[in-house]
Structure 1
Amino acid sequence: MKAIVHRDPGGPDVLELVERDLPTPGPGEVRVRVVVSGVNPADTQARSRATTGFAEVTPHLDGAGVIDAVGAGVDEGRVGQRVWLFMAAAGRPTGTAAEFTVLPAEQAVPLPGEAGFDVGASLGVPALTAHRALTVAEDGPRRLRPGALDGMVVLAAGGAGAVGHAGIQLARWAGATVIGTVSGPEKAALATAAGAHHVVNYREGDPAAEIRRIAPEGVDIVAEVALGANLALDLAVLRRRGTISTYANDGGKPVELDVLQHMVLNTRLQFLVLYTAGPEARAGAVEDVAAAVRAGALPVGEEHGLPLVRFPLERTADAHRAVESGAVGKVLVDVTS
């Protein structure tokens, strides 16, 4: 089979297209013929700095395809099942940038027939991270379903990014009023297409006043992608006992906390990453995201607010360069037809 591998950390040039033997699923595992592989910032970061302990690694956490073999203890009826994959390369050398991959059966989630492989490959890190961001508020739910966020206001910072896009879609599916903040008209159009009820350009006018006009009592949950840059705005619009769920710090601006201000607001500042979220939180997120997919709530494509940027498997290095250069939308690698 064809696979992308790297043996040492470094830039995109360390990625190499090779031929490898077909992997065999072990107990509790499935083998998946990968159709589409999703590329996330986490994948480029792992490639650039991680020491994995493996002789070589096939990158990428997310993807979608068809189960073609199962290991001992896995229902043989799953052979032929369309699935979306998450955390495939987490602590393992077998990510989704290959024609076939093996992973634990529970990390291959059934993909309904009406959902394409592009949708499946775009879930994983973005959708599960967005779910976590929406389910850690003191006064909010721990699980998502229609009505779970009724009466709540969610602010998706960077609403045109992959996690912001999934956050908008999940929050709207769960009943929240959704506000997206963006940097310009192009991204405003994408956030609106994703389902945001309101979009605010944080580079124009008085964004805090505009958000307060929409939500006079303040925002319940902020799903934050650039905490250092946006913290002042977040605090200006957060309601008492509101939550700032931060999953990144784009731009790398240092974060300075006014402790008294946070104390007065009873702010919950929640940092999150999937790897350490815990198995119970991840399992709940997978179930809820799968339900949202079945409901048709997580479509992708420019018409749905998430343009798709595609590369063939042999150009996986270019896919990584696209992610690192801030490509708007979701970067995908087409693996097999």
Structure 2
Amino acid sequence: MKAAWYEKNGEARDVLIVDDVHTPQPGPGEVRVKIMVSGVNPSDFKSRRTRPLNADRIIPHSDAGGVIDAVGEGVPHERIGQRVWVWNGQWQRPFGTCAQYIAIPSDLAVDLPANCDYDAAACMGIPGLTAFEAVRRLGDISGKTILVIGAASSVSHYAVQMAVLKGARVIGTVGSEAKAAHARAAGATDTINYKTENVAERVKALTGGRGVDGIIDMDFSTTIDLIRKGALAPHGTLSCFGSNSHDEPQVPFRLMLTTSLNMHFFLIYDLTASERAYAVKELNALLASGRLKHAIAARFSLDQIVAAHESVEQGRYMGNVVIDMTLSS
């Protein structure tokens, strides 16, 4: 089969290789998926650049949409031919979804609803599940106001939609008018340009001085300052899945104590088994309902993997970037 891989850390154009490798065979409890579309996420270029390799060769990417074409011992043969979406394809594993085939544990390949295409499938593992879990950890948000940081990003675009479907009013931070329009199309009622506006003051103005009931946060290193400035209302909740700084932010303990604030942190790759099962089931139901909008910003062939990685790394597109295995370079 054809695949992309790297054998050392570094820049995309310096380390990524595309060539033929051995086609995997499914082991016990595994399925083999013929990959149709592979999703590219920020974690993929971060891993390529800095994460120590756990094998001589790393095939990147965790997410994909495809078809099961073979099963291992213990897996029902009825699964052959099923259209699926793949999650955690490369989490703690050397061979991910940036290849024509992947062999993975059966539960990592989720039946794809009939109304969904492979593009949507390639967006579920990291963007979809992260957004779902971020919203879930805010609790009952019906009738409440939620601030979504980076509302036009691939994860937050889904989070805006999911929060609105739960009955929340959503305010989103954005970096341009184009991103504001993208966030509003997803359901945000108000947007704040963090480059030109004082976010905390705008949040308080939009909430009658009270602050929001919840924050979905992709950058704790800057969002903690919004909390310090009163953007999160008393008894409010922060749901956080990332930080852009390696430094340890100063947490305003006294403020959090006296206003009874809550903080929930999670790593989407490392949910408990029960959390994962619930999230996969509910996310699949959302997919089947047809209520989620998917934003595919750019499509590359496997031979264009370097350009795909660089586009995500440079934030060149607004939406999800995918590798389409059916395309020729």
TM-score by length of 2: 0.92
- Aligned partner of residue 27 in structure 2, secondary structure: coil
Any idea what the Cα deviations from partners look like across 1:215-263, whole Å, max 9, x if unmatched?
3453222111222223232452212221112212236676222221111
2:214 is aligned, of 202, 208, 221, to 221
Q: Does 1:5 align with 2:5?
A: yes
Aligned partner of 2:262 in structure 1 is: 268
The range that moved more, 44-53 or 154-163, is: 44-53
Whether contact under 8 Å (1:134, 1:221) holds in the other structure is no
Q: In 2, distance between residues paired with 1:16 and 1:207?
A: 43
Aligned partner of 2:29 in structure 1 is: 28
Aligned partner of 2:301 in structure 1 is: 312
- Aligned partner of residue 269 in structure 2, secondary structure: helix
Residue 25 of structure 1 and its aligned partner are, at CA, apart by 0.6
Read off the aligned partner of 1:264 and give its amino acid letter.
Answer: T
Q: Does 1:258 align with 2:245?
A: no
Let me know the Cα RMSD of the aligned residues. Answer: 1.9
Read off the aligned partner of 2:292 and give its amino acid letter.
Answer: L
Q: In 1, distance between residues paired with 2:302 and 2:292?
A: 25
In structure 2, stretches of 5+ residues that fail to align are none
Aligned partner of 1:134 in structure 2 is: 135
Q: In 1, distance between residues paired with 2:160 and 2:20?
A: 40
Residue 17 of structure 1 and its aligned partner are, at CA, apart by 0.7
- Aligned partner of residue 74 in structure 1, secondary structure: coil
Any idea what the Cα deviations from partners look like across 1:27-80, whole Å, max 9, x if unmatched?
111111111100111111111222233221211000111111111111211111
- Aligned partner of residue 32 in structure 1, secondary structure: strand
Read off the aligned partner of 1:275 and give its amino acid letter.
Answer: Y
- Aligned partner of residue 300 in structure 1, secondary structure: coil
Any idea what the Cα deviations from partners look like across 1:104-140, whole Å, max 9, x if unmatched?
1111111112111111111111111112212224xx1
Any idea what the Cα deviations from partners look like across 1:160-219, whole Å, max 9, x if unmatched?
001111111111222222221112211101101122222222334454344334434532
Matches within 5 A, 1:181-330: 181-216=173-208, 217-235=210-228, 236-250=230-244, 255-301=249-295, 307-327=296-316, 328-330=318-320
Between the two proteins, the alignment pairs up a number of residues equal to 323
Q: In 2, distance between residues paired with 1:51 and 1:72?
A: 32
Q: In 2, distance between residues paired with 1:209 and 1:48?
A: 37
The range that moved more, 311-320 or 252-261, is: 252-261
Whether contact under 8 Å (1:38, 1:121) holds in the other structure is yes
TM-score by length of 1: 0.90
Q: In 2, distance between residues paired with 1:230 and 1:293?
A: 30
Matches within 5 A, 1:88-127: 88-127=89-128
Q: In 2, distance between residues paired with 1:74 and 1:205?
A: 55
Matches within 5 A, 1:150-165: 150-165=142-157
The range that moved more, 116-125 or 199-208, is: 199-208
Whether contact under 8 Å (1:183, 1:203) holds in the other structure is yes
Q: In 1, distance between residues paired with 2:5 and 2:41?
A: 16
Whether contact under 8 Å (1:85, 1:108) holds in the other structure is yes
Identity %: 36
Whether contact under 8 Å (1:61, 1:88) holds in the other structure is yes
In structure 1, stretches of 5+ residues that fail to align are 142-148, 302-306
